[in-house]
Structure 1
Amino acid sequence: MTLETSLEKPAPVRAIANAISGWIDRLGAVWVEGQVTQISRRPGLATVFLTLRDSVADISVPVTCSRVLFDGLATPVTEGASVVIHAKPTYYANRGSMSLQARDIRMVGLGELLARLEQRRQLLAAEGLFSTERKRRLPTLPGRVGLVTAANSAAERDVVENATRRWPAVSFEIAYASMQGHKSAAEVIDAVRRLDAHPEVDVIVIARGGGSVEDLLPFSDEGLIRVVAAARTPVVSAIGHEPDSPLLDLVADLRASTPTDAAKLIVPDMLQERSRVIEARSRIRQAVTMRLDREQGQLDALRSRPVLADPRTLLDARAGELDDWRVRIRRQLETRLDRAADDIDHRRARVKSLSPLATLQRGYAVLQDANGHVVTSAADIATGAALTVRVADGRINATATTTELIEENP
């Protein structure tokens, strides 16, 4: 049924309230799962008032339950317990509020609770929130450690005291939060966000002692898992003891089995590091000493060689060789010069023997006419012709008086 209203004909408040009550009443009974965050048992009232909170979103609804039903539960309901309620939504028109009227309350058993956690783990794993590629390495020596834990808790003392004992200069930025109960997840989320935004915090540790599966439920909260996955600062999960494994362990960059173990993981041991430095220094000194000894030995070996012990020895030997080569070269050069001189004498003698001047010296002469032409035949000379006679030591000018041809004997 739809109310017909207008500016001229507005509906009264009672009409609207009754309409809302009718709409909600038509919803019928529903099964609702959530976490009990508040229980109020007022004296003299036959009704118990509960607050049921959603496990993921920050939404809660009031629940009313008869005292008989509440007290008759086999397992008492406590704050922080996970329950499934069969309830009828009811709208109270006089107060303008809505609540769930419980008809049955059933506790979520451990087996069912673990099954739900496993289902949530699989869904988050499918999104890649637990993949190893996402995990970051912790800084070797953080400047400031962010710690999320309960105030004055044993976990706080374990982390702070053990970390300070290992590295006295370590400093902490502590954000306190409830580590158990319905407010725990929201407070831890707020603490992680504040520390993640702190510019000096290099690593965040979320620490608490051990407990039951129900006590550790806030650390499997989907909202907390997503906040840790989105954090820019590396997160260390130190929840419970070794067997405890909330989903926070899977999304954290590093899991510590206990808060004490977290202290050992976030800072190095100063005594151990000092021992390593001393050992490394000793190894370096030993290596340098061995290297120097080896180089000194090689240097001594080089200096002990004759050539380095007395460099003149090598020079003297080379000088002797140089003298021998000089003598050999001089001897070879003299031999070659003598051979060349003899060859020149032989060639000079041959040239002399073939020279026309040598022929003239033997009594021969060369007859030339007035034009300087050599006369080879008497027929070429006329009587009275001027002639020049070339002898060994000069020329003789003559005039042909007569010519005579001599016939060769056959």
Structure 2
Amino acid sequence: MTSDDQRPAGRAPLPARALDTTAENPWPVRLLSQKIADYMARMSPTWVEGQVVQLNRRPGASMAFLTLRDTDADVSLPVAMYANVLAKQQVPLTEGAHVVVHATPTFWKGRGSFQMQADEIRPVGTGELLARIEHLKKVLAAEGLFDADRKKPLPFLPRVVGLVCGRESKAEHDVVVNARARWPQVRFEIREVAVQGKDAVHQVTAAIAELDALPEVEVVVVARGGGAVEDLLPFSNEALVRAAAACRTPLVSAIGHETDAPLLDLVADYRASTPTDAAKRIVPDVSEERLRLRQARQRATLAVRALLDREARGLEQVRSRPALARPASMVDAREADVERVRERGRSAFAAALLRGGADIATLRAQVRALSPAAVLERGYAVVQLADGTVLREPGQVTAGDALRVRLADGEVAAEAR
């Protein structure tokens, strides 16, 4: 027989490092297994935190086994411990418990398996869990995940409601029944998931993401009934809270009772005190809406009637005025005014004509008195030469010149001598 790192004479020695192995010169399984065991043997014991799943302890057996699962991710480790380690627990260890374990990594060469060998296990108390949640709350608040300006308004009447709830849970019944009682036409996309325990965070987170991706879903409700603080821990998990904050669809948190306050309530767009309250918030009450419509119709009818009555009274007041009651009175008054103005115009015109006639007569007398014709009428005559020149002195004519003698009533031809 040869040792793990030796070979029979004539064969190449085994490589010292894994990097130096080749297809022609590989490590045997026993050597690799030994090296892994040696490496793990050099590791120090460590404290590790997780959730207990698959607890296996047989009566009378010297060993107990469990799986320790990460609370935020789908990662787990096998843990083995002596029965007396479990016997030291004041409260019996159960599946789903949140614990810290002091353990050493071990590797079994014969079957190539890995496990943690625990020598101490401590439950994480409720006070410590609440302190961690409070610290996480401050961290998320500092990032602005709880700010009011991030919250999206809920639709008035969603066509489809996404519901994340427990399998055949009372929370599902409260949301669906109460919502359909208020608005029978509402439709639901329901995702039944684990709402407590080791799978709750992963399943709720996946359900929120799935519903958020459906375009017809207009609001998402995450609902769960009341329970102990430990039962509601998944809804204060950082991974789940961040997934809810990243949801583009308006999200309603309806976890537990009004006194319960998981971190999901703070990041949600609306926090419902109970699943029933969520049902009342996501859809309107059809009977209330019909009542409001009737009331609005009645108010509109009364308002229109009041307006018509007011306008009718205004018309009556206008019609009762003298101008509209006896429209002819306005014309009669204006007719009298026109008649008076016309009479004054006639009188003024007649007076102007009389004054003008008198002025013309005076001017006529003056013109007549100054006219040569008036002189002629008194017996005078005007002697003119043949070309019309008025004869003023005898030297203007010679014997035999033709003359024209103009009298008051005509002319006489004459000849100079």
TM-score (norm 2): 0.85
Q: Which of 78, 100, 106 is residue 62 of structure 1 equivalent to?
A: 78
Distance of 1:165 and 1:193 partners within structure 2: 28
Distance of 1:282 and 1:195 partners within structure 2: 42
Distance of 1:242 and 1:390 partners within structure 2: 141
CA, structure 1 residues 202+380, in 2 after alignment: closer, same or farther (shift >3 Å)?
A: same
Partner of 2:224: 208
Distance of 2:362 and 2:113 partners within structure 1: 149
Residue identity in the other structure for 2:163 = L
Q: Which of 317, 335, 340 is residue 324 of structure 1 equivalent to?
A: 340
Q: How does 1:96-115 map to 2 (within 5 A)?
A: 96-115=112-131
- 1:149 equivalenced with 2:165 (yes/no): yes
Residue identity in the other structure for 1:111 = G
Quick check: 1:37–1:181 contact (8 Å CA) kept in 2?
A: no
Residue identity in the other structure for 2:173 = R
Partner of 2:246: 230
Distance of 1:63 and 1:348 partners within structure 2: 153
Q: Secondary structure at the match of 1:262?
A: helix
Paired residues, number: 401
Partner of 1:20: 36
Partner of 1:405: none
Q: Secondary structure at the match of 2:315?
A: helix
Return structure 1 stretches of 4+ with deviation > 6 angstroms: none
Partner of 1:407: none
- 1:276 equivalenced with 2:292 (yes/no): yes
Q: Secondary structure at the match of 2:217?
A: coil
- 1:84 equivalenced with 2:100 (yes/no): yes
CA, structure 1 residues 380+145, in 2 after alignment: closer, same or farther (shift >3 Å)?
A: same
Distance of 1:7 and 1:357 partners within structure 2: 166
Quick check: 2:73–2:202 contact (8 Å CA) kept in 1?
A: no
* 1:368, distance to aligned residue in structure 2 (A): 4.3
Instruction: Kindly provide the CA deviation profile for residues 274-331 of structure 1, in whole angstroms up to 9, marking residues without a partner as x.
Output: 3323322222222222222222222222333343334334333433333333333333
Percent identity over the alignment?
52
Instruction: Kindly provide the CA deviation profile for residues 379-399 of structure 1, in whole angstroms up to 9, marking residues without a partner as x.
Output: 555666555444444445555
Distance of 1:345 and 1:23 partners within structure 2: 155
- 1:170 equivalenced with 2:177 (yes/no): no
Quick check: 1:159–1:260 contact (8 Å CA) kept in 2?
A: yes
Distance of 1:324 and 1:236 partners within structure 2: 88
Residue identity in the other structure for 2:290 = R
Q: How does 1:2-401 map to 2 (within 5 A)?
A: 2-3=17-18, 4-42=20-58, 45-369=61-385, 371-376=387-392, 386-401=402-417
Q: Secondary structure at the match of 1:64?
A: strand
CA, structure 1 residues 388+207, in 2 after alignment: closer, same or farther (shift >3 Å)?
A: same
Partner of 1:408: none
Quick check: 1:53–1:60 contact (8 Å CA) kept in 2?
A: yes
Quick check: 2:71–2:198 contact (8 Å CA) kept in 1?
A: no
TM-score (norm 1): 0.86
Q: Secondary structure at the match of 1:49?
A: strand
Distance of 2:159 and 2:104 partners within structure 1: 55
Instruction: Kindly provide the CA deviation profile for residues 237-267 of structure 1, in whole angstroms up to 9, marking residues without a partner as x.
Output: 1101111111100111100111121122112
Quick check: 2:63–2:83 contact (8 Å CA) kept in 1?
A: yes
Q: RMSD value over aligned CA atoms?
A: 2.8
Quick check: 1:238–1:257 contact (8 Å CA) kept in 2?
A: yes
Quick check: 1:158–1:259 contact (8 Å CA) kept in 2?
A: yes
CA, structure 1 residues 53+330, in 2 after alignment: closer, same or farther (shift >3 Å)?
A: farther
CA, structure 1 residues 182+378, in 2 after alignment: closer, same or farther (shift >3 Å)?
A: farther
Distance of 1:216 and 1:13 partners within structure 2: 47
Distance of 1:20 and 1:364 partners within structure 2: 175
Q: Secondary structure at the match of 1:172?
A: strand
Residue identity in the other structure for 1:206 = V
Gaps of 5+ in 1: 402-410
CA, structure 1 residues 12+351, in 2 after alignment: closer, same or farther (shift >3 Å)?
A: farther
Distance of 2:57 and 2:255 partners within structure 1: 33
Gaps of 5+ in 2: 1-15
Q: Secondary structure at the match of 1:146?
A: strand
Residue identity in the other structure for 2:221 = V
CA, structure 1 residues 358+87, in 2 after alignment: closer, same or farther (shift >3 Å)?
A: farther
Instruction: Kindly provide the CA deviation profile for residues 172-202 of structure 1, in whole angstroms up to 9, marking residues without a partner as x.
Output: 3221111110111111122222322333322
Distance of 1:18 and 1:330 partners within structure 2: 145
Quick check: 2:68–2:76 contact (8 Å CA) kept in 1?
A: yes
Instruction: Kindly provide the CA deviation profile for residues 37-88 of structure 1, in whole angstroms up to 9, marking residues without a partner as x.
Output: 3322246643322222223333222222222112312333332222222222
Distance of 1:178 and 1:283 partners within structure 2: 50
